[in-house]
Each structure stands twice: as structure tokens, then as C-alpha cells.
């Protein structure tokens, strides 16, 4: 594997321009002072209840995500390049979703195999012919990006269903501003605090035609046992809207209503944080107790907007991902500004043969997987793990894709031994309604273990504040 790109230091040890002031500041800080700041940050997060639920782990079902106090920094020029690529990709994703639920021109043109879409479990036939408000399907997208060189960025995946992590991005920033006001005073850092207001404006802008006056928006949560419940409550509170479970809502006369201590209130926009299958037991999974019976019919009638739209998951399927360069070019007429990682679809015989022969070198992922579960990182896996995974892959090849192991960039991170480079990725958050709004920076996840490439919070990864410097 090639040597990874160090975001702070050049090959000969010189400090890269965006990190110049930070490096000078770090050189004046004692490890004891920095450790004290970490403890202070942890007490803040614990007081606020910022925890992450780890499924299947009874001993530590609720824990803090490790927080690194050294910010990751992008120059304004670097961010502008990234932002242009993200904007292009998001426009193409929404055009793709609209097309496959209507004319299916990309399928007829043979640019994406029909079977891959129409036989995909993420494709919802119930959405065929449905045109949501402003023609927007994926209102909130978290695009996972990794850096491998000075000007080389790759998109790892597009999270179009219910992307999470934005609350950690906001709370990381607040903690940093509280802990290190002097460091902020030395930089011009682009603001991110207005994200909840931007989200509220986005929700308001996609209110259905039937909306009368100011839209009533809610956040629909599966409940307190969901791993991201803190985020659901946080965003509802920050936007000044109600946090609801399915029991708080009902459909009457084709409209959605929220129960209150007084009269019922008609709901116009639902920012849902539950999966498609559980949204409406009358249309999808009949055993679901999380959703609202009849909500999908109200949605199809144009009486309520669901954010993100049902069926958007087809666009973040990892097998579809491998066609993103074609998808971008088909709908924008332009070459992609952001790279795709070369991808082998294990459903194809030749690709499967190659993957089975090269498992120790590759990363293998489930096409619908998330959170770092159900994957194999070949270079760090044991022989036993590779042997076991090989058998799983042979049984369900269509359930997997494989990619080369990228040399992820590293950013300075404070660990037990002091300041050391650790691998990072980035999830910028994009809002689409009356316009595309991109928050400068995003949610940086960091692999806290030396050499590890797995940054997922569920697998022990941490977070750090992401700074975009203004010109």
C-alpha cells in the first residue's frame, strides 16, 4: 500500500500552509494540559448526553465517541474544489432517483443494468410515478470522502437514506470554541453553527402544495433505543420543531396529524429518521410499530412531504455506486469532479474470481451495509477471518462489492503517546430544497488506533472538528 498523505506535514517535514498556525500553537502546549482539555470535553459531552449506542454490546451499550481536540484543517481553495464536486454529485443523484421512478432513461440507454435497479431491495415500486415537492428526493445527503493526496479525493459512498453525524459535527465545534478560544482567535474559520436553521429552511421549502401558511415540520424518530436518538432530539430542539414517534401521529382524511394536549395539528413535513420498511405498516412491513399507518398514501396524494423521500436508498446502494461516474456524466453532461473508488461487483463472475484471489489486498463490503459492520479489511484481517469471509462471499456474492485498500490521508491526532498521525475520512452534509446548501467542512471521523483504516464510531473510531479557513 502506498505511503499515506500527511495533511499537516509535507514529505520533507515542512508544515503545510493551512496548518502553520496550529503547528506553532501545538508546539507550545504541554501533553498534560491537552489531556486535561480532553477530560473537560468528555465531561461536557457526558453532561449533554452525547452518547452512541453500540448494538449487541451489553457491557457498553451507551458510550461516548472518542473526541480528538486537534482540528482537521482545509484551506479555502481546497474546500472550493471539494464543494464543486459534491454539488455536481448531489444534483446527479437526485436526477437519477427521479429518472428511475419515472422514464428510466438511464436504464433504457444501457448505462446502468436494469436488473441492478429494478430487482434491488432498495428500489420501491410504490414510488413509481411519484414526484415529490420541488422534485427533490434526497434532501439530506452525507457524502463520505477520503483524501489520498494533495489534490486527490475519492467518494467512498453516498448516504441518501437517513445520514447521521451532524449533531457530532456541531457539538465538536461548540466544544472546541469553548476549550480553545485563543486558537479560534488566530484563524478565520467558516461558521457551521447555522446548520439547524439551514435544515429548517430546507424543510420549509419542500412543504407540499396542500400546505396552508407556515409549514408544520416534525422529526420522526424510532425512539430512545435508536443509536442516533441523541441526534434526533438535538436537531428537533435546535430547529424548534416537535420530536415525534409513530404513536404521536395519525392519518385522517388523507392528511397527517400530530396529537397534542389540545387540538390535533396538521403536519406538512416529516423529517424521518426511520427506514423505509418501517415507515407505514399498510404499505411496507406490516409488523412495523415504528411508523404511521396511511402516511404513504398521504404522501402520494401530495398532502405531506417525507424527508428523505422513500426509495432514495437505491442511490446509495454500493453496487449502484460503482456506476456513479456514468450517472454523473449522463445527467450533468460533465466528467465527475470527484473520483470514484474502483469497484468490483461480486455478482459478476469475473469480478468474483478476482476478489476471491485477492482477498488479503481488498476491502469487501455489503451492498446495503453501514457502520463498518459486515465488512472485511483484507490487509488487517487474520488468515482465519479471510478464510471465513471467503465462504460467506461464495454463498452470497450478489450481496458484496470489493475495492482496493486506499492509502487514507492522516491528520494530527492527540493519543496516549502524544500528537501522532491517524487516518481520517470526511462526511460533508448537503441540504437540497429550494437550493443546494453545503455546510463548510463536515463530520471528520478518525481511526484512533495506529495504522487502522476503520473510522466508524461503532468500531472504535473518534471524531474531530473540521475547519475550513476563509480567504
Q: Please enumerate in sequence order all residues whose Cβ is within 8 A of that of 448, keeping only pairs 6 or more positions apart, or say none.
A: 66, 68, 413, 415, 422, 460, 461, 462
The model's pLDDT over 386-412, given as tens digits with 9 standing for 90+, comes to: 999 999 999 999 999 999 988 899 999
The model's pLDDT over 255-302, given as tens digits with 9 standing for 90+, comes to: 999 999 999 999 999 999 999 999 999 999 999 999 999 999 999 999
Residues listed for the chain: 471
**CATH number of this structure's domain 209-303:** 3.40.50.11290
> Beta partners for 159?
142
Average pLDDT over residues 325-342: 96
Q: What secondary structure letter does DSSP report for 121? A: T
Whether 57 shows a pLDDT value over 50: the answer reads no
Which H or E run includes 438?
A: strand 436-438
- Listed residue (168, 166, 160) closest to 307, CA to CA: 160
Question: Quick one: 185 exposed, middle or buried, by C-beta within 10 A (0-12, 13-18, 19+)?
Answer: exposed
- Please provide the average confidence, as pLDDT, over all residues in the chain: 92
- Asked if 56 contacts 371 with a C-beta cutoff of 8 angstroms, the reply is no
Most confident of 53-62, 101-110, 149-158, 388-397: 101-110
The model's pLDDT over 236-260, given as tens digits with 9 standing for 90+, comes to: 999 999 999 999 999 999 999 999 9
In terms of DSSP bridges, do strands 376-377 and 362-366 run parallel, antiparallel, or are they unpaired?
A: antiparallel
| Residue whose cell numbers read 457551521 | 192
* Residue spans of alpha helices (H) in 213-252: 229-239
What local confidence, expressed as pLDDT, does residue 375 receive?
Answer: 86
Distance CA 315, CA 437 (A): 19
> Which CATH number among 3.20.20.10, 3.40.50.2300, 3.40.50.720, 3.30.1490.270 corresponds to the domain 344-404?
3.30.1490.270
Average pLDDT over residues 431-448: 95
> Beta partners for 341?
none
pTM equals: 0.92
310 HSE (CA, 13 A, CB side): 24
CA distances 3 to 148, 240, 360, 412, Å, are 9, 47, 18, 16
Whether 2 shows a pLDDT value over 60: the answer reads no
Kindly report the backbone phi and psi dihedral angles of residue 232, in degrees, each rounded to the nearest multiple of 5, phi listed first: -60, -50
The model's pLDDT over 180-193, given as tens digits with 9 standing for 90+, comes to: 999 999 999 999 99
Dihedral over Cα of 316, 320, 321, 325: its sign? negative
Domain ranges for the chain: 17-208+304-341+406-468, 209-303, 344-404
Whether 59 shows a pLDDT value over 50: the answer reads no
What local confidence, expressed as pLDDT, does residue 421 receive?
Answer: 95
Long-range pairs for 118-123: beta carbons < 8 A, 24 or more residues apart: 120/314, 120/317, 120/319, 120/320, 121/368, 122/276, 122/311, 122/313, 122/314, 122/316, 122/317, 122/368, 123/311, 123/314
Distance CA 383, CA 50 (A): 37
Confidence of residue 62 (pLDDT cuts 50, 70, 90): low
436: cell is 443546494
Give yes or no on whether 209-303 and 344-404 have one common fold: no
Distance CA 94, CA 137 (A): 6
What local confidence, expressed as pLDDT, does residue 1 receive?
Answer: 42
User: In the chain, pLDDT over 90 holds for what percent of residues?
Assistant: 82
Whether 209 shows a pLDDT value over 80: the answer reads yes
Kindly report the backbone phi and psi dihedral angles of residue 297, in degrees, each rounded to the nearest multiple of 5, phi listed first: -65, -40
> DSSP 3-state assignment of 341?
coil
Amino acid at each position: 500500500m502506498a505511503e499515506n498523505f500527511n495533511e499537516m506535514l509535507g514529505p520533507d517535514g515542512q508544515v503545510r500552509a493551512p496548518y502553520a498556525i496550529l503547528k506553532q500553537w501545538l508546539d507550545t502546549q504541554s501533553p498534560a494540559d491537552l489531556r486535561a482539555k480532553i477530560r473537560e470535553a468528555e465531561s461536557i459531552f457526558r453532561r449533554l448526553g452525547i452518547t452512541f449506542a453500540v448494538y449487541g454490546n451489553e457491557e457498553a451499550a451507551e458510550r461516548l465517541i472518542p473526541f480528538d481536540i486537534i482540528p482537521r484543517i482545509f484551506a479555502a481553495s481546497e474546500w472550493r474544489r471539494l464543494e464543486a464536486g459534491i454539488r455536481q454529485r448531489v444534483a446527479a443523484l437526485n436526477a437519477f432517483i427521479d429518472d428511475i421512478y419515472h422514464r428510466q432513461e438511464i436504464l433504457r440507454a444501457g448505462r446502468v443494468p436494469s436488473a441492478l435497479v429494478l430487482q434491488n431491495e432498495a428500489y420501491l415500486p410504490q414510488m413509481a410515478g411519484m414526484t415529490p415537492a420541488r422534485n427533490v428526493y434526497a434532501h439530506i445527503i452525507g457524502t463520505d470522502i477520503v483524501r489520498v493526496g494533495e489534490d486527490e479525493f475519492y467518494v467512498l459512498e453516498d448516504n441518501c437514506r437517513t445520514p447521521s453525524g451532524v449533531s457530532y459535527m456541531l457539538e465538536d465545534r461548540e466544544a472546541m470554541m469553548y476549550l480553545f478560544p485563543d486558537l479560534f482567535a488566530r484563524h478565520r474559520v467558516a461558521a457551521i453553527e447555522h446548520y439547524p436553521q439551514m435544515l429548517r429552511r430546507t424543510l420549509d421549502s419542500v412543504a407540499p402544495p396542500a400546505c396552508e401558511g407556515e409549514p408544520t415540520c416534525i422529526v420522526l424518530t424510532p425512539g430512545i433505543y435508536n443509536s442516533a436518538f441523541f441526534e434526533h432530539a438535538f436537531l428537533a430542539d435546535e430547529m424548534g420543531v416537535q420530536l415525534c414517534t409513530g404513536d404521536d401521529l395519525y392519518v385522517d382524511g388523507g392528511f397527517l396529524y400530530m396529537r397534542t394536549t389540545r387540538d390535533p395539528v396538521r403536519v406538512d413535513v416529516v423529517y424521518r429518521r426511520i427506514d423505509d420498511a418501517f415507515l407505514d405498516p399498510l404499505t411496507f412491513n406490516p409488523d412495523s410499530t415504528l411508523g404511521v399507518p396511511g402516511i404513504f398514501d398521504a404522501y402520494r396524494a401530495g398532502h405531506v412531504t417525507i424527508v428523505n423521500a422513500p426509495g432514495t436508498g437505491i442511490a446509495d446502494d454500493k453496487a449502484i455506486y460503482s456506476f456513479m461516474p456514468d450517472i454523473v456524466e449522463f445527467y450533468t453532461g460533465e466528467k465527475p469532479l470527484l473520483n470514484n473508488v474502483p469497484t468490483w461487483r461480486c455478482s459478476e463472475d469475473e469480478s468474483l474470481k478476482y476478489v476471491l484471489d485477492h482477498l488479503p489486498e481488498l476491502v469487501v463490503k455489503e451492498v446495503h451495509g453501514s457502520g463498518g459492520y459486515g465488512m472485511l479489511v483484507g490487509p488487517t484481517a487474520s488468515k482465519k477471518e479471510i478464510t471465513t469471509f471467503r465462504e460467506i462471499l461464495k454463498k452470497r456474492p450478489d450481496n458484496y462489492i470489493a475495492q482496493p485498500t486506499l492509502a487514507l490521508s492522516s491528520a494530527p491526532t492527540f493519543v496516549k503517546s502524544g500528537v501522532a498521525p491517524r487516518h481520517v475520512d470526511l462526511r460533508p452534509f448537503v441540504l437540497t430544497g429550494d437550493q443546494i446548501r453545503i455546510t463548510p467542512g463536515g463530520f471528520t471521523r478518525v481511526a484512533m488506533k495506529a495504522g487502522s483504516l476503520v473510522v466508524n464510531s461503532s468500531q472504535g473510531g473518534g471524531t474531530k472538528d473540521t475547519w475550513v479557513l476563509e480567504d
